[in-house]
Structure 1
């Protein structure tokens, strides 16, 4: 996140960022579910729908923590420059229409690890002690998400070579 503003000045700013990041991840998984449905990949459409549900649960959990520590609920949208396309949000360009759950889980895991790194770095660099403490807590939550994805990955073997071969690929608009 070099060169981007970090939410290190206040708990309000940190929660604003965390809520926005989790919401954007949930929206992106919903978008990916819709994309997979359009490409007639129902297994992945269902998978991404479940991932969106998990991310909405994370939104709820961050909201609960916010209420627990007494940070006001009138938090608006994330401020420009917070880099929400970073940490937890998958890029649609990284998704292949024939991919398997293994691929999506691997990508999701990489992004959760980026969230761990973001919060760990913030915990080490924030000037505000409350922000450092909450960043450590969020890093721990993200580490738990990584472990959960590892458990899911254990159920999905890596696909064999040629998984992306399609004798009749979709036409691209020019």
Structure 2
């Protein structure tokens, strides 16, 4: 990352794509009658929308690069928090949904941590740390959901 504007552009795109994918997955699950998984994915979509709003608010007075989707250089094929499209399986159970959610959130966590670890810009480090800490909270919540599921309890996402 070269500039704070670039960091915020990446953060906004990451959260936008995560919100869209989790929202799409929630819609698919709802249309198939898989309401438990739909509720989980909808909550994750809402989290991403909150992060997106935060990134956009922080970028309001900054010089942001204009980037096309194919110009983003992600560590993988898609942005890190984008849940696997195979999560659209209408027969997906809560266990698989939780694993997919965990994997997406952990990928985002790892992404922000790598920026924090490699940038030399002090302002980018501060922002990367803040975004990392927010993602840490999401990962912790998903781990609580996984434990609740294993114990046969209702998820706090429901």
Give the whole-Å Cα distance in 1 for the aligned partners of 2:141 and 2:55: 17
1:13 corresponding residue in structure 2: 6
Question: Alignment length, in residue pairs?
Answer: 149
Corresponding position of 1:151: 144
Structure with greater proportional helix content: 2
Which residue pairs with 1:162 in the alignment? none
Partner of 2:62: 71
Q: CA, structure 1 residues 110+60, in 2 after alignment: closer, same or farther (shift >3 Å)? A: same
CA contact (8 A) 1:34 1:45 kept: yes
Does residue 39 of structure 1 match 2:4?
no
Describe the SS at the equivalent of 1:156: helix
**Alpha-carbon deviation of 1:66?**
4.2
Counterpart contact for 1:17–1:82, Cα < 8 Å: no
* Structure 1 match to 2:155: none
Q: Which consecutive unaligned segments of at least 5 residues does structure 1 have? A: 1-7, 160-174
Measure how far apart 1:77 and its partner are.
Answer: 5.0
Superposed, 1:104-123 pairs within 5 Å as: 104-123=97-116
- 1:87 and 1:114 in contact (8 A); partners too: yes
Partner secondary structure for residue 148 of structure 2: coil
Between Structure 1 and Structure 2, whose CA radius of gyration is higher?
1
